[in-house]
Amino acid sequence: IKLRKVEKIEQKEVERVNALNDVASILARRVAVEFSDSDSASE
C-alpha cells in the first residue's frame, strides 16, 4: 500500500514537471518568435 502511494505521488510530480516544461517551452518559443519578428522588422 505504501509503495502504491509513493508511486502515485511520483506520478503527480512527473505530470506537474512535464506541465511546467510544456509552459516554459511554449513561452520560450513565443519569445524567440517575438525576437525574430522584431529583428526582421528592424531590418
* pLDDT, mean of residues 14-39: 90
Does 3 have pLDDT greater than 80? no
Question: Between vectors from CA 19 to CA 28 and to CA 24, what angle results, nearest 5°?
Answer: 10
What is the model's pLDDT at position 38?
A: 74
Whole-number CA gyration radius for the chain: 19
Distance in angstroms (rounded) separating the CA atoms of residues 19 and 38: 29
What is the model's pLDDT at position 12?
A: 95
More confident residue, 4 or 8: 8
Residues whose CB falls within 8 Å of the CB of residue 37, separated by 6 or more in sequence, listed in order = none
